Amino acid sequence: MNTKIHAGESTPHRNGTPPSRADDALDVRRRIGELRQLPEGWLDGKGLAPDPQGLTWLAEQFDAFDSARLPRPYLFPTPEGGVLAEWPQNPWSLSLEINLSARTGRWHALDLDTDTEETAELDLNRNESWERLAEWVGGRMPVTA
């Protein structure tokens, strides 16, 4: 398959189409499997493929947290070979740009109503960083029964 992926697009699903259900898009293991399939040059000939070992590490990190504490994100590749995790929660736009080789993340939260913005750098090798992320994301997501 010689499909090019453009910024903001989903990577192809097994049959060449993106997942049709929100549950599929939020299945971290499935999504990481799709990211593993990206070739070098996936973005107009320039996007770096995410490191397979880094993707395994990332899947393990999300598995370590109960989804009730850290809601599952939408995952997208970055041109630099990393992963962007997004949690859209009106009025908030929440994201974490993950550097797989450095095991770091750049947190960004933007309140679209007030333009209030938060940023932070996280060392994702530290459990405390994942705990903070769970607090930041979980504190903005609706409580479900």
- pLDDT, tens digit (0-9, with 9 covering 90-100), for 3-56: 444 444 444 433 333 444 455 567 899 999 999 999 999 999 999 999 999 999
pLDDT given at position 25: 61
SS (H, E, C) 104-133: EEEEEEEECCCCCEEEEEEECCCHHHHHHH
- pLDDT tens by residue, 57-87: 999 999 888 777 888 999 999 999 999 999 9
Q: Does the reported pTM lie above 0.85?
A: no
What's the rounded mean pLDDT across residues 102-110? 97
pLDDT given at position 90: 86
Is the previous residue joined to 77 through a cis bond, with omega within 30 degrees of 0? Answer: no
Report the alpha-carbon distance of residue 124 to residue 145 in Å, rounded.
29
* Residues paired with 88 in a beta bridge: 93
Domain edges within the chain: 50-138
pLDDT given at position 23: 53
